[in-house]
């Protein structure tokens, strides 16, 4: 079943009078349940593509349908609600709130939830959901630690717990292992594979070929255009 449909998507930045095409006329179809790695040289537009797919950024032109929604027509608030209900994000530098405990960080998406399934949760239920997510990433013993009391790998696992707490359909990751040692990186990848096996669509930006190997489909960008779209055999 088609999850995302991109047609002639462009993203243009302006630097003075100069127009820079971060994404150039890109068309792409992603089906539900895929495990995709987006690779390419730095500046090739791979992060921009990820943010466009994750509704954190809006295209300059072209169309992007998420399931049957024309996302390029949605309001800012509607995109926020979709991100909350439908997507999870994992960033290279974790992006946790430094003053909040692991538990509070993970609870955050539930606080903003307007979806019928989770907006009715009271604080106790939110806490239980967050604790369950932390157990999935193996941090049940670290729930009340703040980020700087945790190692890099643990922080990234908190971020993953936050990304999955609202049971998203898609998980976006931007260089999720970039700031981690190889052991922690492997643990994070193992988590992604596990989530994928449970039906979550995973879309990951990486420049590391060994990590890209693990994905089932590989999109290679160059100068904002799709130059290779290879499914693993």
Partner 1 sequence: MRLKETARLSVESLLAQKLRTALTVLGMVIGVGAVVLLVSLGQGAKNYVLKEFEGLGTNLIVIQPGKSDKKTHFGPPVGAAQRKMTTADVAAIERKALNIKAVSGLILGTVSARHEDSISNITVFGTNEQFPEILSILIGRGEYFSREEDEYRRRVVVIGRNIAEDLFGDDEPLGRSIKLNESEFKIVGVLAPMGNKVGLNFDELAFIPTQAALKLFNEDKLFGIRATASSREGMDDAVAEISEILKERRDGEEDFTIITQISMMESLNTILSMLTYVLAAIAAISMVVGGIGIMNIMWVSVVERTQEIGIRRAVGARRRDILQQFLAEAIGLSVLSGGVGVGGATLLTYALHLFLPSFDMRAPWWIVVPAFLLALLVGIVFGVAPAWRASRIETLDALRYE
Residue numbers of the site for partner 1 (CB under 8 A)?
A: 51, 56-57, 76-77, 80-81, 83-85, 89, 91, 95-97, 99, 108-109, 111-113, 123, 162, 166
CB 83 within 8 A of CB 74: no
Q: Toward partner 1, which CB reaches closer, 21 or 112?
A: 112
Cβ 38 to partner 1 shortest distance, Å: 17
145: burial class by Cβ within 10 Å (0-12, 13-18, 19+)? Answer: middle
> Residue 182 Cβ, how far from partner 1 at the closest point, in Å?
26
Q: Which CB atom, from 35 or from 89, has the smaller least distance to partner 1?
A: 89
Question: Closest distance between partner 1 and the C-beta of residue 142, in Å?
Answer: 19
Minimum separation from the CB atom of position 42 to partner 1 (A): 15
Residue whose CB is less far from partner 1, 85 or 212: 85
Q: Which is nearer to partner 1, 40 or 109 (CB)?
A: 109
Q: Which residue has the tokens 């890099």?
A: 152
Q: Which of residues 79 and 142 has its CB atom nearest to partner 1 in the complex?
A: 79
Q: Nearer Cβ to partner 1, position 36 or 110?
A: 110
Task: Report, in Å, the least distance between residue 177 CB and partner 1.
Answer: 19
Are the C-beta atoms of residues 221 and 227 closer than 8 Å to each other? yes
CB of 232 to partner 1, least distance (A): 29
């Amino acid at each position: 079943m088609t999850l995302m449909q991109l047609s002639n998507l462009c993203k243009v930045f302006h630097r003075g009078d100069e127009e820079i095409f971060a994404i150039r006329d890109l068309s792409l179809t992603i089906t539900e349940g895929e495990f995709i790695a987006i690779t390419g040289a730095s500046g090739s537009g791979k992060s921009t593509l990820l943010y466009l797919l994750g509704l954190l950024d809006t295209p300059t032109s072209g169309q992007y349908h998420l399931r049957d929604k024309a996302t390029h027509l949605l309001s800012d608030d509607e995109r926020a609600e979709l991100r909350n209900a439908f997507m999870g994000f994992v960033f290279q530098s974790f992006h946790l709130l430094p003053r909040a405990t692991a538990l509070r960080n993970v609870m955050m998406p539930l606080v903003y939830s307007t979806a019928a399934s989770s907006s009715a949760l009271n604080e106790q239920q939110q806490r239980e959901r967050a604790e369950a997510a932390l157990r999935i990433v193996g941090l049940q013993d670290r729930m009340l630690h703040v980020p700087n009391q945790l190692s890099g790998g643990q922080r990234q696992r908190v971020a993953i717990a936050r990304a999955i707490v609202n049971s998203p359909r898609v998980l976006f990751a931007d260089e999720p292992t970039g700031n981690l040692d190889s052991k922690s990186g492997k643990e994070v990848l193992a988590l992604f594979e596990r989530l994928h096996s449970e039906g979550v669509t995973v879309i990951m930006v990486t420049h590391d070929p060994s990590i890209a190997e693990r994905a089932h489909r590989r999109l290679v960008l160059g100068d904002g255009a799709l130059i290779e779209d290879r499914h693993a055999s």
